[in-house]
Chains A and B, each alone.
Chain A
Amino acid sequence: MSYTLRGRLESRLAALAPPVLVAAAVHHWWLIELAGLMAGVVLLLDLVYHRPIAYQPGWAAVPLGLLELGCILLAMRLLGIMAPLRWALVFFAASWLWAQLLGHVLLPLARLSYAEDGGELGVALGAVALAALVLPFAAAGGIYEHNLPPVVRLSAGVHQGPLYIRHRVRLVGERGTIVRGGIVVLHRGVTVSHVHVVGGEYGISVLGVKNVTLDHVTVQGATLDGIHVRHANVHVHDCLVDERGMPDGQGIDVSYGMIQGDSMIDGCTVVGGRDGIVVHGSMGMIEHNTVTATKMTGISLVEMSMGSVAHNHVAGALGIGILCGDHSMCDMDHNTVVGTRPDGTANAMRSGIGLEVEFGAEAELGAHNDLVANPRHLGVFLDSTVFWK
Chain B
Amino acid sequence: MAPRAAIVGGGLSGFVAYLTLRRVGVEDVTVFSPEPDPAAAFRARAAAIRQTHMRSESDGHCLPTSFPGLAVRDAVRRRSVAPAVASLFDRYHPTVERFLDHVGELRRRSGWSPVPKRIERVTPVDGGFDLDGEAFEHVLVATGHPGLCIPEELRGDPRVVHAYEPHDYAESVCVVGAGLAAATEWRNARAAGADVTSVRRREPVHRPLNVPRPFLSKRGLAGFHRLDRRGRAAMLQQMLTPSYPREWETDVRVESHVNGADQIICATGFLRGWQHDPLLAQLDVPAVNGWLELGDDATVPTLTDATRTLALAGVAAQWAYPAADTLMGARYVAHAFARRCRTR
Chain A residues packing against B (C-beta within 8 Å)? 1-4, 7, 54-55, 57-59, 104-105, 108-109, 112-118, 120
Contact = CB atoms under 8 A, between A and B. Distances in A.
Contact of B222 (A4, A54, A109, A115): A4
Contacts of B88: 57-59
Contacts of B24: 112
A116 B218 CA distance: 6
A274 B68 CA distance: 76
Given A54-B219, A105-B67, A117-B218, A112 B89 contact: no
B214 to A, nearest CB: 4
Nearest to B90: A57
Chain A CB within 10 Å, residue with most, of B23, B218, B332, B335: B218
Contact of A118 (B68, B89, B218): B218
B89 A109 contact: no
Contacts of A113: 332, 335
B123 interface: no
Given A2-B213, A114-B66, A59 B89 contact: yes
B65 A120 contact: no
Contacts of B90: 57-58
Given A4-B219, A112-B24, A113-B335, A55 B214 contact: yes
B93 interface: no
Contact of B89 (A57, A105, A116): A57
B87 A58 contact: yes
Interface string B212-234: 11101111101000000000000
Nearest to A118: B218
Contacts of A3: 219
Contacts of A4: 217-219, 222
B11 to A, nearest CB: 20
Contacts of B335: 112-113, 116
B338 A115 contact: no
B20 interface: yes
A109 B66 CA distance: 7
Interface string B61-72: 000111110000
B219 A109 contact: no
17 contacts: A2-B214, A2-B216, A2-B218, A54-B219, A55-B212, A57-B89, A58-B87, A58-B89, A58-B90, A59-B88, A104-B67, A108-B65, A113-B335, A115-B66, A116-B216, A116-B332, A118-B219
A116 B220 contact: no
Nearest to B336: A113
A15 to B, nearest CB: 16
B331 interface: yes
Nearest to B332: A116
A55 B59 CA distance: 15
Nearest to B338: A112
A123 to B, nearest CB: 13
Interface in B199-215: 212-214
Contacts of A117: 217-218
Interface in B320-338: 328, 331-332, 335, 338
A54 B66 CA distance: 19
Given A57-B89, A109-B65, A109-B67, A115 B217 contact: yes
A64 B222 CA distance: 25
Given A109-B67, A117-B218, A118-B217, 12 more contacts: A4-B217, A55-B212, A57-B90, A58-B87, A58-B88, A105-B68, A108-B67, A115-B59, A115-B66, A116-B217, A116-B218, A117-B217
B219 A112 contact: no
B125 to A, nearest CB: 30
Looking at B23, B87, B217, B331, the one whose CB has the most chain A CB atoms below 10 A away is: B217
A89 to B, nearest CB: 23
Contacts of B87: 58
Interface in B23-39: 23-24
A1 B216 CA distance: 9
Contacts of B331: 116
A207 B2 CA distance: 84
A55 B208 CA distance: 14
A54 B216 CA distance: 11
| A54, A109, A112 interface centre (most CB from chain B within 10 Å) | A112
Contacts of A58: 87-90
Nearest to A6: B218
Which residue of A2, A105, A115, A116 has the most chain B CB atoms within 10 A of its CB atom? A116
A112 B217 contact: no
A120 B222 CA distance: 13
Contacts of A114: 65-66
Interface in B297-337: 328, 331-332, 335
Contacts of B89: 57-59
Contacts of A59: 88-89
A2 B219 contact: yes
A104 B220 CA distance: 20
Contacts of B66: 108, 114-115
Interface string B59-95: 1000011111000000000000000000111100000
Q: Which of A54, A58, A105, A113 has the most CB of B within 10 A?
A: A113
B338 to A, nearest CB: 7
A108 B331 CA distance: 13
A362 to B, nearest CB: 53
Nearest to A7: B218
Nearest to A56: B213
Given A58-B87, A112-B20, A120 B214 contact: no
A2 to B, nearest CB: 4
Best-buried of A1, A2, A4, A54 by chain B (most CB within 10 Å):
A2
A94 B24 CA distance: 32
B326 to A, nearest CB: 12
A55 B217 CA distance: 10
A115 B220 CA distance: 12
A385 to B, nearest CB: 55
Nearest to A115: B66
B53 to A, nearest CB: 19
A1 B217 contact: yes
A6 B90 CA distance: 24
